[in-house]
Structure 1
Amino acid sequence: MIDLVLIGAGTGHPDHLTLQGVRALQEADLVLIPRKGAGKEDLAHLRLAMLARHRPDGAVVEVDLPVRDSEIPYLQGVESWHDAIAQAWAQAVDLPQGGTVAMLVWGDPSLYDSSLRIAARLDWRARVIPGITAIQALCAAHVIPLNSLGNEVLITTGRRLREGGWPQGCDRAVVMLDGACAFQTLAPEGLSIWWGAYLGMVEERLESGPLAEAGPRIVTLRAEARAAHGWIMDCYLLARNGAH
């Protein structure tokens, strides 16, 4: 039996690992490091830097991840993509007597991450060690609370925001997985935004303000940062009639 330990790795800072996560890394028989292709080497390098600090010795295997087919319907493409990733994981693990495999997950395995769904395709026993989420890192970087007093917060995606507009019934929304700056589709009046990219990393970029003013700055900054690094991970908080 293979035991898979998914460890929340935060958003790039090596100190984001919890003590529980460090212990799990040190006790694992093997650590899987996913590689997402040319231009995204930083993501693997950051994980390797965490291992160099917390687990300088021990077996490590890097695995090339397949690319999602964007030409087929979104959900169908994701399901096929996850099937291929599960197969890549299985092929990379060589533990004929069983053992523990650890994987560092960007952010937190519970929040818009598919590691658990992929693991469910394998005959492995999974457990999760939570870490710092991108939402926590975003609010900390801007020194703001997530919610307004006594009110709820919606967590959604750029695709949902673009297709459905401002979510009804809430005054704040966190938007993740937005590669096209979906906030541009909203009427900006009465909205504020707090945006962050590469949170916790040396390359961290922050922008905030009334959406009408900050939105165009974010679009430009995001494009420049992506061009410079070849990849970008970002998220933002939108607030209706919120004081900035």
Structure 2
Amino acid sequence: MIRLSLIGIGTGNPDHLTLAAIRAMNDADLILLPRKGDAKSDLIDLRRTICAQVLDRPVSIVEFDMPTRADQPAYVDAVLDWHDAIAGLWMEQIRQHLPDGGTLALLVWGDPSLYDSSLRIAARLPGLDISVIPGITSMQALTAAHAICLNDLAEPVLITTGRRLREQGWPACASTIVVMLDGGCAFQTLKPEGIDIWWGAYLGMPHQALCHGPLSSTGARIVAQRAMLREEHGWIMDIYLLRRRSG
């Protein structure tokens, strides 16, 4: 029997770990850490730091190289092929390091249930006993950093991606939207009048960056700052909240 623990680790700050996450890491027989290339070496360094800080017993830690997602117009097909490749790598590590069974742990940014595909990938592997340990999401870290409420009083919130915002525009069903996985600053495609933006990058990390204000005057500043930070660090993870002003 292979038990798989998908452990939400927040935005990389060890202070974001819950007690349940720490227990799950220490209960594991194997922790897999994915490498995503030199440009994102900070990400595996953060995972290494978390392991070093919270493990109080010997746990086998194995690093592996993540496959690259194909850059092709058929986005969903490319993602499905990518997930198949990742599942194959997980199975390879399980066969090599847990031939007699045991508990495998994966450290998932944010929460495994929100815009993360670990659960979908795990579903490709038969016979796993899966448990999920929830974590602080980048959405929560964003609203906390700006000290704002996620929603207006009695109003809905919609969570979407940059690709969806660019292709479909502002969703008609919400006055507040949270945009994740946006590598192209899709807010530039909106008419900015009457919209405020709260943006954050590297949330919870020492080099956290924040910006907020009317989209009409703040959008260009965010685009420039984001490009500068990406150039400086070689990678960027960011998220933003947009809200239409009432009245």
TM-score by length of 2: 0.96
User: What is the aligned partner in structure 2 of residue 68 from structure 1?
Assistant: 69
Secondary structure of 2:103's match?
strand
Q: Unpaired runs of 5+ in structure 1?
A: none
Q: Tell me if the contact between 1:5 and 1:24 (Cα under 8 Å) persists in the aligned partners.
A: yes
Q: 1:100 aligns with which of 83, 86, 103?
A: 103
User: What is the aligned partner in structure 1 of residue 123 from structure 2?
Assistant: 120
User: What is the aligned partner in structure 1 of residue 15 from structure 2?
Assistant: 15
Residue 159 of structure 1: how far off its partner (Å): 0.4
- Deviates further, 213-222 or 47-56: 47-56
For residues 41 and 241 of structure 1, what CA distance do their matches in structure 2 show? Answer: 40
Secondary structure of 2:39's match?
coil
Q: Unpaired runs of 5+ in structure 2?
A: none
Secondary structure of 2:38's match?
coil
Residue 170 of structure 1: how far off its partner (Å): 1.1
For residues 21 and 169 of structure 1, what CA distance do their matches in structure 2 show? Answer: 35
Q: 2:175 aligns with which of 161, 168, 171?
A: 171
User: What is the aligned partner in structure 1 of residue 228 from structure 2?
Assistant: 224
Question: Aligned partner of 1:90: which letter?
Answer: M
For residues 211 and 88 of structure 2, what CA distance do their matches in structure 1 show? Answer: 39
For residues 39 and 106 of structure 1, what CA distance do their matches in structure 2 show? Answer: 17
Question: Aligned partner of 2:9: which letter?
Answer: A
For residues 35 and 87 of structure 1, what CA distance do their matches in structure 2 show? Answer: 16
- Deviates further, 123-132 or 74-83: 123-132
The total of aligned residue pairs comes to 243
Residue 169 of structure 1: how far off its partner (Å): 2.0
Q: 2:135 aligns with which of 131, 143, 158?
A: 131
Question: Aligned partner of 2:183: which letter?
Answer: G
For residues 202 and 90 of structure 1, what CA distance do their matches in structure 2 show? Answer: 35
Percent identical pairs in the alignment equals: 60
The runs of at least 4 consecutive aligned structure 1 residues that moved more than 4 Å come to none
CA offset digits 1:21-56 (Å, max 9, x no partner): 000000100101011112101111101100000015
CA offset digits 1:65-110 (Å, max 9, x no partner): 0000012410000000000001111112221110000111001100
Q: 1:157 aligns with which of 150, 154, 161?
A: 161
